Structure 1
């Protein structure tokens, strides 16, 4: 008797999303149908719906006005907290610690080679984004409002838990390791990671000391095309993640990332043009040659 992975060959087959329900002839994800899995099914998909609504709302809010930190911080900050610790709290804890706990506690296929690779890609990103980058950056403002890291922490936790829950439990078919979705997605993730890290390092090197608070016009290969290559790189990363995981959790997380970084890139681009009269007019905000 053929296994489900061997008996069907379609682009959408092999990673069906409703893997917390029961096994059918079109579902190679082996699960036991009991009350726990039904509860987990609704909890998982309920968080996805919530995450999608948050992404849409966030896009509308931040398109109208940027989040009040960094370049767009007000002169007086209410309930200030230290910026480095805030970024570690908001990104490293949910992105690496909570993600790891969720992956190992809820996962049913922790040792699948595809699952391990996906887990490693996610945590490598947050090792840099959540820990190394905050320690290296020379911030223009040493304080920000406490509501920003608290909100970011809560939202990141929602999105990261759904992604960890998915990749910790999904049973990818063996051939999926060679599937175009996995190969293209992983390549996009790595390319985006390199762009993101390279741009962040360039921004770090702009200021000669941590006491330097002046803004300097970014230059270099990446910045010759767009104002925010670090944001572009991260959007490419999570697009790759969405394709590689082939999941709604990945897609909704990517939409949220775009709602945050895409809108902020536009505000940053306009800010640069206002602040620097010599700002290159051919530079785009976040997508080279396009926008």
Structure 2
């Protein structure tokens, strides 16, 4: 893989410049996405329509679209001269990244119960995004990210790591609650209860937003920050859309629940 990358980039300086450009472009795309989502829900699940292409089986879609976020980084770490992977801060940040995507690509899709098919456009965009972001995050961490020897004891790294862990656990627990709302063979929607769902409609989204915000704080780079910003824009929109949908569909939906942030928003 080193030979492939050496053909694409004349030098490490050039590749690092490209990685920086990818990060800033992701921030630009987050801004464009924010404007778009003011007028349109993300077309998946309950919001899926035929306007966005033919339907793709939900389990197949989740598995295939998320897999590049695991496989591309894995290849970058195993089959390139990833010099920075010998440094503890880089190792811990890579573990955070892989913990999420091992679960999201290799475990989560096969636990889905019911669920509506994913429109092809949403599936294709997610697939491309996972390649893009997987390369950007892990190539930077494994090859270019420089941290001081005491970075793992710095307030930024410790706070970010704790936020990442809390967010990851909240996300896993919330997905477990949502998955078990449906008995085998059921496909309808029910009011989620338990865990953070007692306080917000988008507990799973809150967890993932917190997770990547913590990762960005611990990694302290424009690359991790751009992913955190993009995640915030997309998942906050989903949380507010779900909250409105729940209130409209269920007359007995708890009126005290917020959309995304407990007691606040």
- TM-score, normalised to structure 1, is 0.83
1:52 corresponding residue in structure 2: 27
* Superposition pairs of residues 33-52 of structure 1, within 5 angstroms: 36-52=11-27
Q: Which of 127, 130, 147 is the equivalent residue of 2:102?
A: 127
The answer on 1:286 being equivalent to 2:260 is yes
Q: Which of 172, 182, 186 is the equivalent residue of 2:147?
A: 172
Deviation at 1:35, TM superposition (A): 5.1
Once residues 59 and 263 of structure 2 are traced to their aligned partners in structure 1, the CA distance between those partners, rounded to angstroms, is 34
Unaligned runs of 5+ in 2: 1-8
Greater fraction of residues in helix: 2
When the two chains are superposed, the root-mean-square deviation of aligned CA atoms in Å is: 1.7
What SS does the aligned partner of 1:198 have? helix
The answer on 1:159 being equivalent to 2:133 is yes
2:213 corresponding residue in structure 1: 239
1:216 corresponding residue in structure 2: 190
1:97 corresponding residue in structure 2: 71
Q: Do the aligned partners of residues 109 and 199 (structure 1) sit closer, same or farther apart at CA in structure 2, a change above 3 Å counting? A: same
Once residues 103 and 240 of structure 1 are traced to their aligned partners in structure 2, the CA distance between those partners, rounded to angstroms, is 22
Once residues 189 and 103 of structure 1 are traced to their aligned partners in structure 2, the CA distance between those partners, rounded to angstroms, is 22
Once residues 163 and 202 of structure 1 are traced to their aligned partners in structure 2, the CA distance between those partners, rounded to angstroms, is 30
Q: Report Cα offsets for 1:193-245 as digits up to 9, x if no partner.
A: 11000000011110011x21111111113111000100000000001000100
Deviation at 1:76, TM superposition (A): 8.1
The answer on 1:201 being equivalent to 2:176 is yes
Contact in 1 for aligned 2:43/2:52 (Cα 8 Å): no
Deviation at 1:137, TM superposition (A): 1.4
1:225 corresponding residue in structure 2: 199
1:79 corresponding residue in structure 2: 54
Contact in 2 for aligned 1:51/1:158 (Cα 8 Å): no
Deviation at 1:87, TM superposition (A): 0.7
Deviation at 1:252, TM superposition (A): 0.3
Which 4+ residue blocks in structure 1 deviate beyond 3 angstroms? 75-78
Deviation at 1:151, TM superposition (A): 0.4
Contact in 2 for aligned 1:140/1:212 (Cα 8 Å): no
Contact in 2 for aligned 1:84/1:135 (Cα 8 Å): yes
Q: Do the aligned partners of residues 48 and 221 (structure 1) sit closer, same or farther apart at CA in structure 2, a change above 3 Å counting? A: closer
Contact in 2 for aligned 1:190/1:237 (Cα 8 Å): yes
The answer on 1:186 being equivalent to 2:137 is no
Q: Do the aligned partners of residues 75 and 38 (structure 1) sit closer, same or farther apart at CA in structure 2, a change above 3 Å counting? A: closer
Q: Report Cα offsets for 1:137-160 as digits up to 9, x if no partner.
A: 11331x222111110111222222
Structure possessing the higher radius of gyration over alpha carbons: 1
Deviation at 1:162, TM superposition (A): 1.5
